[in-house]
Chains A and B, each alone.
Chain A
Amino acid sequence: MSTRGPVIVMELPEKLNHAAISSFLDELRPLLEDDRPCIVLDCSQIKDLDSGGVEMLLHCLEQAMKRDGDLKLAAVSPASGVILELMRVDRLFEMFETSAAAVRSFQTFALETTAQSQPWYAAPHGFADLKATG
């Protein structure tokens, strides 16, 4: 596990099935209980993903969103992608090619949402633009 600022990157194990999820969930649970958890799960090592594993990913996403955070997936292999698609959950997760790209996506989002140097109506395509064109 590695921590890059507020974003936590965690590598998922080779087996993410009914038997393996409880130990992994124990490790992840404290991180999910933080305020606004920003978690990236690196899926590059996954070789065996089953319905239990998918259920765990959904549970983690739900917990993160409850606390106003988010959970993103990185380096999802084509085989894992097929299983997520088969179980209709692929569209629920934001997926990135690499963990670094996933981490960057959190930081970009944070910058955009926290930049308050100008009033909201001065933003591009905001109220000021409307006034100028009108």
Chain B
Amino acid sequence: MLLGAVVAVGGNNQWASQDSATPLDAAGDVQKPLLREPLECIEIAGRSLVERLVVRFAAVDMVVAVLVEAGTNVPKFRTARENVTVEFVRDLSSAINQKVSDFSQQGIDHAFINCANTYTETDLLDLFSFHRESRQRVTPTYDRQGPLALWVVDCAKAEDVPLETLLRDSRSNAASRYFIREYVTRLQEPRDLRQSASDMLRGRCQIGPSGREVRPGVWIDEDVEIHRRARIVAPAYVGCGSKVRADALITRFSNVERDCCIDCGTVVEDSSILSGTTVGIWLDLCHAVASGNKLLNLQRDVLVEISDPSVLCSTSASRKFVPSASRQREPLQKVSDLQEQRPISGAWQLGNNLIQE
């Protein structure tokens, strides 16, 4: 039996009646968003949640259709797959309806519909069996926190029914619901990106960081430059093409995504540095999510836009602004050298103070 999956990206998931209210700060003013792109399109430990979902569906030989709201920038998938198509659409709701009827005509009897901001690690085939046994048009899923944006539909029965009606039916008490006990993540606000990265690095979920695990708990992706005096303390992740300069420290479940630069002496602790961000010299970035020149402090729940490029800026802007400390280039360490570092047994030694995980 053929199975299909529709992964919907963007549009604030309004079609799924998710709460998409714009956050207000303490004074009641509308907060500027940290990111322009939907959270599911942001790379976390090397891959976006969209790609991780696609990989999960494609792994059980489903025909996967990724429907992206027009104007949304989805990062290129790192692994191309034959049974995955990506389409940009104006109206997600009607495109999902159309895709379900297309599936039905292609002989695909059942399909999963998943908002890309919701990731679950439930057994998909078990969920499908539950849906087939319940013989209903649509099967909704729940976890401890409530309803999830993941449904299984009978394509033939759902073909001519508007999506809104389908989802309303799924919320009725008569519908059998599938309860998910496994790992679930909902990306609803930037804070969830941090939680998701932390979960991956702690090994709380099946998905892990991309790249090579050069030491236990230290994942380094391709083309990374790490200065020999920089420290990466497990668990941590450094993404493609990033640079970690002298005396910088990356520690406590931090993830530095692609094309970032952590300048000399800066400490990144329990933080996510999103792709294309340059962090200046001798800074202390703790419990935060940084993207371009914006910094969200999770402890204080404050979003700060920093106008000073010597402190925080996007990597493209930093090419125009070269801080003095970065001009003195010292020999960089290749990832292969990092792997060869042997753990030092015995006492702490002066001048030999590699931090061990």
Contacts and interface: CB of A to CB of B under 8 A. Distances in A.
Contacts of A83: 304, 306, 311
A51 B308 contact: yes
B307 A50 contact: yes
Given A86-B295, A88-B283, A51 B311 contact: yes
B330 to A, nearest CB: 22
A82 B40 CA distance: 27
Contact of A82 (B302, B307, B310): B302
A63 interface: no
Contacts of A88: 282-284
A98 interface: no
Interface in B275-332: 280, 282-286, 295, 297, 300-302, 304, 306-308, 310-312
A17 B297 contact: no
A87 B304 contact: no
Nearest to B283: A86
A81 B297 CA distance: 10
A58 to B, nearest CB: 13
Contacts of B295: 82, 86
Contacts of B306: 50, 83
Contacts of A79: 302, 304
B300 to A, nearest CB: 5
Contacts of B284: 85-88
A79 B322 CA distance: 25
Instruction: State the main secondary structure of chain B at its contact with A.
Output: loop
Interface size class, chain B: 10 to 19
Nearest to A81: B300
B307 A51 contact: no
B308 A50 contact: yes
B308 A17 contact: yes
B194 to A, nearest CB: 15
Nearest to A53: B308
Contact of A78 (B280, B286, B300, B311): B300
A48 interface: yes
A82 B311 contact: no
Nearest to A88: B284
B311 A86 contact: yes
Nearest to A83: B304
A87 B311 contact: yes
A82 B300 contact: yes
Contacts of B283: 86-88
A51 B310 contact: yes
Interface in A45-97: 48, 50-52, 78-79, 81-83, 85-88
A50 B282 CA distance: 14
Interface string A15-31: 00110000000000000
A44 to B, nearest CB: 13
Contacts of A82: 295, 297, 300, 302, 304
Interface of B: 280, 282-286, 295, 297, 300-302, 304, 306-308, 310-312
Interface of A: 17-18, 48, 50-52, 78-79, 81-83, 85-88
16 contacts: A17-B308, A50-B307, A51-B308, A78-B297, A78-B300, A79-B302, A82-B297, A83-B304, A85-B286, A85-B297, A86-B284, A86-B285, A86-B312, A87-B282, A87-B311, A88-B283
Given A81-B302, A86-B284, A87-B283, 12 more contacts: A17-B307, A17-B308, A51-B308, A78-B301, A79-B302, A81-B300, A82-B297, A85-B286, A86-B295, A86-B311, A87-B311, A88-B284
Q: Which 7 A-B pairs have the closest CB atoms?
A: A50-B308, A78-B302, A82-B297, A88-B284, A78-B300, A79-B304, A82-B304
